[in-house]
Structure 1
């Protein structure tokens, strides 16, 4: 009922106020609410379109800014829209940012199917369920496999690679944040390093991640690096298509009951 109430309120605001006012009010309301993931998805897309996505896809040259600074803005804006209580600062930690950079970058070094770097690819739901089932004890660590370290400087010398990685960062991180938000709200879990690692690893080995990266690579190859409208449309299409669906999130509820959400000592990054 709360999900539906939030959605109806957002729609009413958009439809009854002047266009400019309605858009801003609806956006503030969407960011503030902590109930409906679908409304959050719309809000994060709206914020991205207003602030930086058009600039990212219009030019991969950032006058006066380093690539690290641009990624910081991108990452922070996405975290802020989801409005998750994070007293420990996990979502904006340097460790998570490093994991995200490696996730979106390493896949493009693979000459063949990205799935080959993992022994098996799962759906998002299947990956989460399998990972939870594979934790044989509450103390079992969640180790995140990293194939190789990607230097940000490498992006600078390859315009197409940079655009691919920036597009992938937006799509990947929004989907990861949507799952974290859903588990916190629907399964009443608390935010922890262990929970973030679970979601990150499940997305890393998912079919959805492989498809997202493959489609971005093909898009940039066909459309080029400077068609901002096409790139923006592709980002939005991928977010909408590959986000975890409500029915999958509901199905996940039974699986997460077995998840021991104790706090891991560190980020547990290892070699694949």
Structure 2
């Protein structure tokens, strides 16, 4: 983990996350006994901690491990229940175009010195399903996949906007709002909703689930050179006072 934490290429950090996930719970979401009799919220906490630790952000206040940030991610995942947001037959453009789209959104949101509004947290009420006891189903697996991928891609966006500085609530909200408003978010959820696999064979279900997580992470992974090409377009948020969640 120490070696992983020293890597500065976000693409390598996503690869490192995948390696950690293979050794931990991602490889057995469909059959993991450790999740039995525990609430979904408790299970997601374990996954959340594993993923955040890989990135090694300068987060002295522990914002990325806070209840508020985890609630942001859960409520983003909750949007899976709304239905597809993009055309699944459309060719998805990734790489530099994806980074450029997010950078453009960041530039707009970070410009004015006004509080950043994250639409997915309009209500203080957290999604009800996180309090349910973990029970295997297609919907549950979709939500777990979405949580892992959404959180990872939000952290990738945060890497883009934080530029190795100390994290504030404002910059984290900026990363969440930018990812949520980007085409990537809708495309990811659409691909997860199209993930229709059978649960008859747990061994296959586990392997297929892990493969789907890796596929989505690799598809939307961006390299250091791509980030450096657009970072100059993003205004600094250092000079703006921090704000509540």
TM-score (structure 2 length as normaliser): 0.81
Shift of 1:250: 1.8
Judging changes above 3 Å, is the alpha-carbon distance between structure 1 residues 135 and 171 closer, same or farther for their aligned structure 2 residues?
closer
Match of 1:140 in 2: 114
Tell me the alpha carbon deviations over residues 84-142 of structure 1, each in whole angstroms, 9 at most, x when there is no partner: 22111110110110010010112x22235269xxxxxx9453234234235553x3110
- Which shifted more, 243-252 or 92-101? 243-252
Match of 1:214 in 2: 190
Provide the alpha-carbon RMSD of the alignment. 2.7
How far, CA to CA, are the matches of 2:18 and 2:167 in structure 1?
23
TM alignment of 1:1-272, pairs within 5 A:
28-31=2-5, 33-58=6-31, 62-106=35-79, 108-113=80-85, 123-137=98-112, 139-146=113-120, 149-151=126-128, 152-153=130-131, 159-184=137-162, 187-219=163-195, 221=196, 223-225=197-199, 226=202, 227-267=205-245
How far, CA to CA, are the matches of 1:58 and 1:161 in structure 2?
15
Secondary structure in structure 2 of the residue aligned to 1:58 = coil
Shift of 1:247: 4.3
Q: Which has the higher helix share?
A: 1
Indicate the structure whose relative CO is greater, using CA pairs within 8 Å and at least 6 residues apart: 2
Contact preservation (8 Å) 1:124, 1:202: no
Shift of 1:200: 0.6
Larger radius of gyration: 1
Shift of 1:181: 2.7
Secondary structure in structure 2 of the residue aligned to 1:57 = coil
How far, CA to CA, are the matches of 1:87 and 1:258 in structure 2?
20
Contact preservation (8 Å) 2:160, 2:227: yes
Q: Which runs of 5+ in 1 are unaligned?
A: 1-26, 116-121, 268-272
Contact preservation (8 Å) 2:118, 2:173: yes
How far, CA to CA, are the matches of 2:99 and 2:30 in structure 1?
27
Contact preservation (8 Å) 1:34, 1:83: no
Match of 2:94 in 1: none
Contact preservation (8 Å) 2:102, 2:182: yes
Contact preservation (8 Å) 1:182, 1:249: yes
Tell me the alpha carbon deviations over residues 9-44 of structure 1, each in whole angstroms, 9 at most, x when there is no partner: xxxxxxxxxxxxxxxxxx54123x142222211211
TM-score (structure 1 length as normaliser): 0.73
